[in-house]
Chains A and B, each alone.
Chain A
Amino acid sequence: MNFKEAVKKSGKNIIGSLPIMFSVLLLVNLVLPLGKDYYLKLFSGNLLTDPLMGAAAGSLSFGIPITSYIIGGELLLAGISLVAITAFIMTWTTVGVVMLPLEGKYLGKKFAIIRNGVNFVFSIVIAILTVATLNLFR
């Protein structure tokens, strides 16, 4: 691929992601002020329930990782714990409940179910470890 083609492909990718990104940002800004107090009650900072709920929310959503970083970043600013957001970011890409039928079709049903289940657990473990490691250096 030459430079011109690389620029064209990357530009196409970025432009292609704009409608969904704008939509998600509009949705986030619509919901965030409404749910600010509710989120803070739901995510209490508990090291076990917070990542579990974050992972569940990420599993039900899907899209390019950048969207999860933006949503996660804004939720962090709203006061939600980093461990919940990390689990959310992790499952956003690695667990896809919506994509399960498609994954099963191409890679096998058994593979898809096992992989998604293992990834869900690993996402919670990684979220806890990441935050614990960061706390060690603070």
Chain B
Amino acid sequence: MDRRIVITGLGVVSPAGVGAAALAEAVRAGRSAVGPITRFDASAYPCRVAGEVREFDPADGIRKDQTRYVRKMSKVMAIDIQLALAASNLAILDTGLPIGDPRTNEPVLPTVDHARFGMVFGTGFIPTELDDLAGPVQASRTDGRFSMSRWGTHGIPQMFPLWLLKYLPNMHSCHTGILWDAQGPSNSLTCSDAGGLLAVDEAVRILRRGAADRMLAGGAESRVNPTLLMRYCLLGRLATGGADPAAACRPFDLGRTGQVNAEGAAVLALEGLDTAQTRGARLYGEVLGTGCATTRAGIDACEADGRAVAAAVRGALQDAGAAPEDLGAVFAHGTAFEKQDQGEAAGLAAALGPAARTVPVTATKGVTGNMGAASGLADLAVALLLAKDGLVPPILNCERPDPRAGLAFVTGRPVPLAKDLVLATTHAIGGQTAAVVIRVTR
């Protein structure tokens, strides 16, 4: 029998605020956190809305020596990394593990075997902040043109020495590991939107093969910057219509016009049921099964039949030993990009079979926009918290659900969570697809 893996800590930083509860409450109430972009002047872009994280502090709530580390290093951490650190801190603090006393040189987590504490983080490739290159680029111009030769002599010397490290996608794991002395297995998955749920898949396998006692499964990404906003505009994937930012992202709605870029981080603290019970930990839920697959239609394509979504969902159900009718809710990826939504709906309908008519299907991106690698994990956190009230939240802005989907979309108001199993699924553009089945604790 495989080792049973439970979720004992949640950390979320999202456009709805700091903490998993802030997101769960916004999703339950159908309150949008999408707004006009304030981080930079987006007036030259066809899409000018995003899900921005307004205020957070990656040094909140941690020990003084940890705070010093974060304060010192934050200038060489892109916002993605800071978000990851903040959510990791929340998740670890939420586990209720005792924190060591720095005055007596206690380890930061004195009851934890640090060599057996690891993490897997979903991340994106982080584009450089434009300001970091502004001076060096100016210094490299001659006769009104950029000169590579001058970049070598005048540009490079103006860059700050740790520039590269500020943007490396493995730094989520590295800084979190340093801050919490986590010396166990450590990975950084660059699988776009699927990265967070794939991190759960891998973290669970690491725990089951006995290579660690506890793992963080995380995801963090920011797509609220001039470079990534441009990329998604050029790919024709962003919502453009409407004057009201709160109504911009409309998963599975007939009036959808595209996705909304966002930023955020979500982290689940995972451990064996055995160790969690021994220490009397609060159990949010249990990871029952994971599944993964891939789209083979091409890097920018959506599979119309949602074959990969169906395969990942079936795989997760099979791994969980569950049938579609055992599900109390499905949290779909639901980006609100039409072709992607349609393919996902087809895949879900195929995998759920006759149960598609009854299993409530919801999505949270109407509230947050697309938080990339954080998406599926944030959905699991929402599902776990709303399970306390026995609710499946509605899809914000899904006013005229696409009837071709053949799914039981939750619209308008929450519906009861009739069963304890919840599935979340996410997929990357043109590729990786993941699904996770959890049992929620009510």
A and B bound? no
Residues of chain B having any CB pair with chain A under 8 Å: none
